[in-house]
Amino acid sequence: MTFTVSVAADTVECGPDQSLLDAFLRGGVWMPNSCNQGTCGTCKLRVVSGSVDHRRSPENTLSQAERERGFALACQVTPCSDTVVERLDTAPAGTVHALRDLVGTVSAIEDVARDTRRVLVTLDSPLEFSAGQYVELRVPGTGQGRQYSMSNPPGESKVLEFHIRRQPGGVATDGWVFGSMSVGERVDLLGPLGDFRLDPDDEGPMVLLGGGTGLAPLKAMARQALTSAPDRAIHLYHGVREESDLYDVDLFREWECAHPGFRYVPCLSDQSWSGRSGYVTDAFVEDFDTCRGYSGYLCGPPAMVDAGVKAFKRRRMAPRRIFREKFTPAV
């Protein structure tokens, strides 16, 4: 049995145990989304007609009062009848890439920094996505998925690159990526997901500011932007604790030589060294008097992203030009 779920002029089929978000994205219909786990509230929508089951929608993301007023989380809610919903947000610029189940093979594993691995997965068939988006990797034998952003831009054959930080005791990291994972292993994935993506209509200067492996989607964006506009002004800030946490330094120095508009600023919060020290958001504020006309992209732990938004606004970046993705460590 399936139901129909509709938004604006689009209607798709949705199974009784399928989230509305999953149904819409698989149908190539855009719906705001970020965490896909019920925690961020990005996918909140309004049910216009029909009935839904809120399943495990967390109370602190969707209150009882909101449920009674017809709101729901698209990533959690399932239909109990044919349903019509209304989006609360307008679509970002760019193509909507349909959500798909994917299969690939681990083609490389490399230790690139302290407790950080680069993992390459070669897909059986190409995936269309936008720079900045992520996929969910299914952790073998657990029934669980973990989300990792692609750090290479779309269009690079069928290979996806991920940066994965170890979380001690984590089933996905210690138990798999830093444990049993091996080259040649087959992996199941779901994607692409997320609205954090490079605005294809913007060709102006930009600041990319990432913490830890929050560098991954920003690297994809920088590479994509430099491919289409090699002289574009791009300032890439990477904040980590210690020098041993930095990676891809030589690559970014090469980009600086090849692209006069590209600037790379690594910043250590817990260590003095020959480069910048302190919080990466403070380093940005020190470097700029104003960011009028700039776009800003932030990815990292929630506290860093919140500090980054404040820093961007302090330097007069237009709020509508600030894009962000908060992550919590995938254990």
Interface residue with ligand FES, options 61, 83, 152, 295 (CB under 6 A) = 61
* Residue 149 bridge partners (DSSP): 134
What's the burial of 109, exposed, middle or buried (CB within 10 Å: 0-12/13-18/19+)? Answer: middle
Residue 75 in the binding site for ligand FES (CB under 6 A): yes
Cβ closest to ligand FES, residue 73 vs residue 311: 73
| Closest separation in Å from C-beta 194 to ligand FES | 9
Residue 147 in the binding site for ligand FES (CB under 6 A): no
Residue 102 to residue 100: CA distance in whole angstroms: 6
Residue among 2, 3, 1, 28 at smallest CA distance from 83 = 3
Site for ligand FES in 22-51 (CB under 6 A): 33-36, 38-43
Residue 170 in the binding site for ligand FES (CB under 6 A): no
Answer whether 291's CB lies under 8 Å from 302's CB.
no
| Closest separation in Å from C-beta 59 to ligand FES | 13
3-state SS string for 218-268 = HHHHHHHHHHHCCCCCEEEEEEECCHHHCCCHHHHHHHHHHCCCEEEEEEE
Phi, psi dihedral angles at 117 (to 5 degrees): -120, 145
* Residue 243 bridge partners (DSSP): none
Residue 330 in the binding site for ligand FES (CB under 6 A): no
Cβ closest to ligand FES, residue 305 vs residue 311: 305
Cβ closest to ligand FES, residue 199 vs residue 325: 325
Distance from chain centroid for Cα 222:
14
Cβ closest to ligand FES, residue 34 vs residue 149: 34
Residue 114 to residue 155: CA distance in whole angstroms: 30
Cβ closest to ligand FES, residue 7 vs residue 43: 43
Is the link from the previous residue into 192 a cis peptide, with omega within 30 of 0? yes
Residue 215 to residue 192: CA distance in whole angstroms: 18
Cβ closest to ligand FES, residue 30 vs residue 279: 30
Site for ligand FES in 225-254 (CB under 6 A): none
| Closest separation in Å from C-beta 72 to ligand FES | 10
Cβ closest to ligand FES, residue 71 vs residue 252: 71
Q: Give the interface size with ligand FES as a residue count (CB under 6 A).
A: 13
| Closest separation in Å from C-beta 309 to ligand FES | 18
Residue 73 in the binding site for ligand FES (CB under 6 A): yes
Q: Which residues bind ligand FES (CB under 6 A)?
A: 33-36, 38-43, 61, 73, 75
